[in-house]
Amino acid sequence: MIKLNDIVKSFDGHRVLDGVSLTLSEGGVTALIGPSGSGKSTLLRCVNLLEVPDAGSLELAGDALSFTPGRKLSREAVLRMRRATGMVFQSFQLFPHQTVLQNVMEGLLTVQRWPRQQAEQRARELLDKVGMAHKADAWPSTLSGGQQQRVAIARALAPSPRLLLCDEPTSALDPELAAEVVAVLRQLAAEGVTMLMATHDLRLAASVARDVVFLEHGRVVEAGSASQIFGAPRQPRTAEYVSTLTAGARDLVQI
């Protein structure tokens, strides 16, 4: 079980997250949806402590942390939480001076201290999983956006994290390339990989996520199963937001 309790985060006096509480079941996919500025990406960054919450608590992988204004976390506590998560960024963030294979191996070698042969075997297995084994020796600059994102997913999965965080994994891609990434995420969901993703893509959330959380102004407006949120939302604001996205997506090719 992964729990976020009453998470608060402010920037320059503006409260971006205002008491967010979530419980994620392991082996499931939870999608965060909501308008721009609702706090989706900030919440993801708070989970792996790229941003440290001002208040609240977090439970993940058997560790529990409480946050208090002005209190600094120990380096050991931060590293424990980060080792339990893998992060897939919107802009891929591959190392341009390393090949595809080296990108996936890097964390295993420098952070996990794996033997090189074992790290390479793990990296090749993951590249095969995401359909990128044939590009193992390629440079990131020679890949399409969809290919780069699939490599980024493989890299995030390399240390076998308890939770995979995906920040707008398809928003930088055109529909055809996005479909490649969605196919990989669907496969991971079917395999029981625990994921928390922030997305504007209603189709992605509806097709991959088991649970959906609608955020606005840093607060949870409604949370429930994907079928409930998209099919029979209880809150008028959720219904308004979902119907607007649905209407805008009617003429798009379904993925």
Q: Indicate the angle between helix axes 100-110 and 145-157, nearest 10 degrees.
A: 20
Residue 15 placed within a domain: no
Contacts of 57-62 with C-beta under 8 Å, sequence gap 24+, read: 57/3, 57/4, 57/5, 57/6, 58/3, 58/4, 58/5, 58/7, 59/1, 59/2, 59/3, 59/5, 60/2, 60/3, 60/84, 60/85, 60/162, 60/163, 61/162, 61/163
Residue 76 placed within a domain: no
Residue 66 placed within a domain: no
Task: Please state, for a pLDDT cut of 90, what percent of the chain lies above it.
Answer: 72
Residue 97 placed within a domain: yes
Q: 105: which 2 tokens?
A: 């191996």
- pLDDT surpassing 90 at residue 243: no
Q: How many domains does the chain have?
A: 1
What are 156-174's pLDDT values in tens digits?
999 999 999 999 998 878 8
Residue 127 placed within a domain: yes
Contact (CB, 8 A) for 104 and 126: yes
Residue 152 placed within a domain: yes
What are 218-231's pLDDT values in tens digits?
999 999 999 999 98
Average pLDDT, integer, range 110-122:
94
- pLDDT surpassing 50 at residue 62: yes
pLDDT score for 220: 97
Q: 39: which 2 tokens?
A: 């706090």
pTM (2 d.p.): 0.90
Residue 122 placed within a domain: yes
Task: Please state, for a pLDDT cut of 70, what percent of the chain lies above it.
Answer: 95
Question: What is the Cα–Cα distance from 251 to 255, expressed in whole angstroms?
Answer: 12
Query: Hey, what's the torsion of the CAs at 112, 115, 120, 122, to 10 degrees?
Result: -60
Helices (H), 97-174: 100-110, 116-129, 145-157
- 90: confidence class by pLDDT, cuts 50, 70, 90: confident
> Containing domain of residue 96, as a range?
91-160
pLDDT score for 249: 43
Residue 86 placed within a domain: no
